[in-house]
Amino acid sequence: MGTPHNEAPQGAFAKTVLMPGDPLRAKFIAQTFLQGAKLVNDVRGIQGWTGTYQGVPVSVMASGMGMPSIGIYSHELFHTYDVDNIIRVGSAGAISPKLELRDVILAQGACTDSNYAHQYGLPGTFAPIADFTLLETAVAVARRMGVEPPVGNVLSSDVFYNQAGNTLDWGRMGVLAIEMETAALYCNAAEAGKRALTICTVSDSLVTGEELPPAARQTTFTGMMEIALGVAVQMAGRRA
């Protein structure tokens, strides 16, 4: 049984799915890191792959751009394909002067200008946060790799070209970076009773104006990919 957006059969996805935005990044992760990687979904070009990493089944599937898109794909993975863990591996724009290009950050929480959580009918403002087990595992994996990742808030925005020009205001509240997916992913995980975490690499800085070219974003952000894969291995060990 598939969905309108996913042709994979039941059992095609591993319990942990890495979720980059870009289908080409999904393909790169699968073909670079996974053994025996097989394409299990290609509806609308949103590639989903499953293989093994260090003997552990792992899947990787693109989310597309923005909260409506990741909202669809993560919902279907959690509810239709019984995925337990989704780890977003994406790019983000620094809005903190403490960050540099290629820094790997872990999103403990997600501020947002989106109305995504309105659907739950809650009598207040829901605060989307990462699963703590995934978060502490990612910190431990990163440290074993010699990386001390910044951990904190990101801003998940519905707007890429912000006409108000006030994005850096969030940085004054300690928010590390801006991206477009995490809040919806964390909401979906909370609603489904599943786990989610975002690991992002800084691709550009709104503070300094520096940026990396698109090709580098697809294929050179291997640090965050290796951290996410390490987390997948550790989570498989926990289930055992």
Half-sphere exposure of 95 (CA within 13 A, CB side): 22
Dihedral sign for Cα 36, 47, 226, 75, please. Answer: negative
What number of other Cβ atoms are within 10 A of residue 9's Cβ?
A: 12
- 3-class secondary-structure state, position 4: coil
Is residue 204 flagged as an active site residue?
yes
Cβ-proximal residues to 224 (8 Å cutoff; 6+ apart), any chain: 89, 104, 199, 200, 201
> Could you tell me which residues come within 8 angstroms of residue 61 by beta carbon, excluding any fewer than 6 positions away?
13, 17, 18, 19, 26, 41, 46, 47, 48, 49, 73, 77
How does DSSP classify residue 160? S
- Tell me the backbone φ, ψ of residue 181, rounded to 5 degrees: -135, -30
- Nearest Cα neighbor of 104 from 40, 72, 147, 146 is 147
User: Per DSSP, what are the bridge partners of residue 202?
Assistant: 92
Of 84, 103, 131, 204, the catalytic one is 204
- Positions marked catalytic: 204
